[in-house]
Amino acid sequence: MPRFSANLSFLFTEVPFLDRFGEAAQAGFRAVEFAFGYDFQVREIAARVAQHKLDVVLINAPAGSWEAGDRGLASLPGREHEFAASVVTALRFAQALRCPRIHVMAGVLPEGADDAERARRLRTYKRNVRFACQEAAVQNVAIMIEPINPRDVPRYLLNTQGEAHAIREEIGIANLRVQMDLYHAQIVEGDLETKIRRWLPHIGHFQVAGVPGRCEPNVGEVNYGYLFKLIDELKYDGYVGCEYRPAQTTQAGLGWLYKLIDRRP
């Protein structure tokens, strides 16, 4: 059975952020991930990680002004210096937390963007992702790019697995990997088993949630039990991030995970 990490941006939100590390450990998680912890001193986060004997397996780089509508900086022309600074900040956190993966969000296209504008932003994106990979390689950190469905994030630059892997191949740097969120992938394109089999060697992290409601993964149209067995059989050695919104409390909804653990041989 795969190893699971608790995404603390989604789970255990019943308590303040720093207290979620203890809640995750008490619930049985040995690994955590989160999008943005930059409102806190990294030493505060590192202390909670050490206290509860957790591994941090994924963080996001700063994504710009979320309140103003930013969903990443990597594809935004004219903000290259801001993106570079975000990578430096993320690497500082990754080093302190011994985190081996950083997700850099692509950003959204402007309303009404034509093909020429999309192409311009893709060029910016590739340059910035290449820069991030080169900087991260010094720390032996992988840079993750993730397709996101346009229903949750309208006009997001990257929507399909094929787009992400084409960019990965074009950039051609070993520490660039694709983050496959099966929730997003099912909404956009489906055919999950085929895509997992095709691209598993280049997938650096999985995430899961029920489709369509983004709640616990045992609810909805995706047969996650089947997919977990598949990636286990294919010898995936990374983590599966639990990035879903609990229908009630986090703890009340963890029965799906405990049942899986009980079935381990």
User: Catalytic residue numbers?
Assistant: 146, 243
d(CA 97, CA 59): 10
d(CA 226, CA 142): 28
**Closest CA relative to residue 57, chosen from 10, 12, 11, 99:** 99
d(CA 234, CA 143): 23
**Closest CA relative to residue 38, chosen from 106, 98, 94:** 94
Residue 179's DSSP bridge partners are 205
d(CA 57, CA 8): 12
Which helix (H) or strand (E) covers residue 205, if one does?
A: strand 203-208
d(CA 201, CA 178): 10
Which helix (H) or strand (E) covers residue 224, if one does?
A: helix 224-233
Q: What values do phi and psi take at 127, rounded to 5?
A: -60, -45
d(CA 183, CA 188): 9
**Closest CA relative to residue 253, chosen from 221, 205, 209, 212:** 209
Maximum separation of any 2 CA atoms in the chain, in Å: 54
